[in-house]
């Protein structure tokens, strides 16, 4: 298992100072930031691609068509092993349906559309290079049926793709569905785990909220994120036992061993760049590296 970290200016400075150690930087397909990160460590790209429209292909997170030649260039030029797809059916593609409609006929429709879109990407790249990411279900712009574990399992089974398992998203989704985390994850296809994402979960308030507002994040975005527990946060005391539990699942072979374990705290920009600080990264990255080291089982 290789340990990755979201690229940020804080992370770059800590790595240069040898305060942390990682194997890879995780980063969006932004040429300038990729070039800066590659001077320090190999880089892999996390693509802003979505599925669930039913048009028989992925789309960008803005709903536009995908430039697959650009995706292929990133795969060739970086250490990117997978094409990742977010299971985020856009509500605009389901007129007349509420975002939280979990009726059996709607769940079946969402599942069929997800399979159609993912299958097209698998046909292009092969099942071993495509992974689908579970999401948290809080966005009213996305159909909540996609967080159901049986839907995710059906997509992976039908297409043969792998799973990008976001542990924080699973914790949030399980809470929305009124499920225990262990029961929720037990219903997911974690035998196909290829990449694991880790973050803490905290409310967005206090000094962190003020810092983000001062950096220029608009009030509407702050209000939207402040109404729910937020991932991409540093770990709290309550998060560490969940990290240890996940590591135990891998060690016991209840989950497949992922190729990449990515710490998603921090990032670039007014919002993501201010969700953590250098001191917190320096304190949390080393123990996570020890916990998820390949030697640990």
175 in Cβ contact with 205 (< 8 Å): no
**Does residue 273 surpass a pLDDT of 80?**
no
Taking alpha carbons only, the member of 280, 184, 194, 197 closest to residue 232 is: 197
Strand (E) or helix (H) holding 198: strand 193-198
Q: Give the pLDDT mean for 250-267.
A: 96
261 in Cβ contact with 294 (< 8 Å): no
198 in Cβ contact with 261 (< 8 Å): yes
DSSP strand E in the chain: where?
Answer: 2-6, 24-27, 43-45, 49-51, 59-60, 83-87, 130-133, 162-166, 193-198, 200-202, 230-233, 260-263
**Does residue 296 surpass a pLDDT of 80?**
no
Q: State residue 118's pLDDT score.
A: 99
Taking alpha carbons only, the member of 178, 151, 152, 176 closest to residue 164 is: 152
Q: State residue 63's pLDDT score.
A: 85
Q: State residue 220's pLDDT score.
A: 86
pLDDT band for 94, please (50, 70, 90 cuts).
Answer: very high
Q: In the 3-class helix/strand/coil scheme, how is 95-137 assigned residue by residue?
A: CCCCCCCCCHHHHHHHHHHHHHHHHHHHHHHCHHHEEEECCCC
Q: State residue 29's pLDDT score.
A: 97
List beta partners, residue 200. Answer: 233
Q: Within 10 A of 156 (CB to CB), how many other CB atoms are there?
A: 22
89 in Cβ contact with 113 (< 8 Å): yes
pLDDT digits (tens, 9 = 90+) for 175-229: 999 999 999 999 999 999 999 999 999 988 877 788 888 878 888 888 888 878 8
pLDDT digits (tens, 9 = 90+) for 166-183: 999 999 999 999 999 999
Reading the block at residue 186, the tokens are 């037990």
Report how far residue 80's alpha carbon sits from residue 182's, in angstroms, rounded to the nearest whole number. Answer: 30
Helix count and strand count (H, E) for the chain: 11, 12
Q: Give the pLDDT mean for 132-146.
A: 97
- Helices 278-291 and 9-16, packing angle to 10 deg: 70
Q: State residue 205's pLDDT score.
A: 80
pLDDT band for 36, please (50, 70, 90 cuts).
Answer: very high
pTM of structure: 0.95
Q: State residue 295's pLDDT score.
A: 55
pLDDT digits (tens, 9 = 90+) for 59-84: 998 889 999 999 999 999 999 999 99
- Helices 278-291 and 240-251, packing angle to 10 deg: 30
CATH class of 46-191: alpha beta
Domain coordinates in residue numbering, the chain: 1-40+199-297, 46-191
pLDDT, averaged across the chain: 95
CA angle 184, 231, 130 (to 5 degrees): 65
Report how far residue 120's alpha carbon sits from residue 157's, in angstroms, rounded to the nearest whole number. Answer: 15
What is the rounded radius of gyration, in angstroms, for the C-alpha atoms of the chain?
18
**Does residue 265 surpass a pLDDT of 60?**
yes
262 in Cβ contact with 26 (< 8 Å): yes
Reading the block at residue 291, the tokens are 């916990």
Q: State residue 263's pLDDT score.
A: 98
Q: State residue 135's pLDDT score.
A: 98
Q: State residue 224's pLDDT score.
A: 81
């Amino acid at each position: 298992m290789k340990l990755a970290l979201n690229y940020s200016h804080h992370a770059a400075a800590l790595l240069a100072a040898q305060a942390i150690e990682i194997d890879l930087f995780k980063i969006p397909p932004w040429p300038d930031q990729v070039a800066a990160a590659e001077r320090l460590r190999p880089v892999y790209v996390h693509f802003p691609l979505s599925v669930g429209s039913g048009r028989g292909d992925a789309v960008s997170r803005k709903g536009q068509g995908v430039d697959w030649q650009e995706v292929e260039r990133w795969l060739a030029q970086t250490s990117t092993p997978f094409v990742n797809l977010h299971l985020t059916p856009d509500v605009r593609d389901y007129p007349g349906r509420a975002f939280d409609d979990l009726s059996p006929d709607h769940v079946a429709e969402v599942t069929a559309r997800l399979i159609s879109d993912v299958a097209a990407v698998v046909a292009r790249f092969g099942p071993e290079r495509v992974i689908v990411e579970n999401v948290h279900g809080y966005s009213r712009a996305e159909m909540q049926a996609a967080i159901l574990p049986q839907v995710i399992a059906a997509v992976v089974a039908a297409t043969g793709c792998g799973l990008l398992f976001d542990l924080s998203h699973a914790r949030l989704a399980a809470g929305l569905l009124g499920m225990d985390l262990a029961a929720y994850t037990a219903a997911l296809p974690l035998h196909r785990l290829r990449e694991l994402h880790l973050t803490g979960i905290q409310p967005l308030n206090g000094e962190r909220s003020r810092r983000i507002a001062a950096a220029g994040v608009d009030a509407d975005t702050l209000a939207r994120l402040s109404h729910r527990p937020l991932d991409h946060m540093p770990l709290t005391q309550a998060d560490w036992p969940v990290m240890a539990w996940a590591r135990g699942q891998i060690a016991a072979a209840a989950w497949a061993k992922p190729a990449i374990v990515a710490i998603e705290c921090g990032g670039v920009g007014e919002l993501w760049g201010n969700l953590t600080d250098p001191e917190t990264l320096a304190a949390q990255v080393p123990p996570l590296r020890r916990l998820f080291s390949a030697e640990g089982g």
